Each structure stands twice: as C-alpha cells, then as structure tokens.
Amino acid sequence: MNKTFLVKIVEGKINFQSEFNEARFRDFAKLNEGKILTLKKYELIRSLSQNALYWVYLSKIEMETGNTAEDMHEYFKAKLLPRRLLKIRGKAGFHEVEVLGSTTLLKKHEFGAYLDKCAEHCGIPLPTIQEQEEMGYLPR
C-alpha cells in the first residue's frame, strides 16, 4: 500500500496541518508497525506558466530560424536533457529501452535552468515581457 502524507516541518517537528491528517497517519502507522518509511522533500514540477513561456520561446526561435517549434523542442530534449532508461515488461521478461528526457519531469528550478541552456545553446535570448505580450502570452 503506497500512501502519501504531506506534512510541514515546523520548529524541527512534523506538523500534519490538521487533526484529520494526523489521524490518517496514525491509522497508517498502526497498520504498518515495524515498517521503514522514506521521507522525501516535496518539489514542484515545472509550472504551466513556465511551459507556456517555453512554447512562446520556441515560436520566437521558429520565426527567427525557420525551424519549427516542435522540431526545436525535440532537438533541445535530445541535446540538453539526460536520457532515461525505461524497463518494459513483456512476455519474455523485462526489456530496457533508452528514451529522450522529458521536460514534464523537470522541477521548477530545473526547468528554469533548461530554458537558460536553450537560450545559451542557440544564441537566441528568451523573449522579453514585451515580446511575450506581442506573441499573445501574458505572463503572471
């Protein structure tokens, strides 16, 4: 049973944010006495506004170079993201396949660094706020 509990650390202690959340955790703990838990820091994946900016940027590159935004997306993924190894289960057992990295898996700070790498790699700066507005993207 895979359960997720979002908690906050306040003054060095776990804060469940509500009595309901704490009760849920206590019930879980009773059912899993003696088990080992893993705690992970919660990190936000790239935001929708970051993704929108990325596609505006790819459109800017398209207008300047003639390369399609989709082609540039595939090119940047191949050039700038680490490849991932997928394990696929089949009738003959597991099969491993190496695939391109994905921008959807990047954390917010990783996606920001990716955008900077794209701009550095192709020599075309990210669009200014004025350019974004002219292209129909209104940043928040």
Q: What is the pLDDT of residues 1-47, one digit of tens each?
A: 567 888 889 999 999 889 998 999 999 999 999 999 888 887 778 88
Q: What is the pLDDT of residue 138?
A: 66
Reference 31, options 52, 2, 6, 55; nearest CA is 2
| 55 within 8 A of 76, measured Cβ to Cβ | no
Q: Which domains does the chain have, with CATH numbers?
A: 1-42 (no CATH), 48-134 (1.10.3790.10)
Question: Residues 44, 105: contact at Cβ < 8 Å?
Answer: no
Tokens in use for 87? 């394990």
Helices assigned H by DSSP within the chain: 19-31, 48-65, 69-80, 108-122, 129-134
Greatest CA span in the chain, whole angstroms?
Answer: 61
Global pTM value: 0.66
Tokens 């790819």 belong to: 58
CA dihedral (88, 94, 99, 102) in degrees, to 10, reads 50
Task: Say what the pLDDT of residue 135 is.
Answer: 81
Mean pLDDT confidence for 48-56 = 91
Mean pLDDT along residues 57-70: 96
Looking at residue 70, its amino acid is E
Q: How confident is the model at residue 72 (pLDDT cuts 50, 70, 90)?
A: very high
At 110, is the pLDDT very low, low, confident or very high (cuts 50, 70, 90)? very high
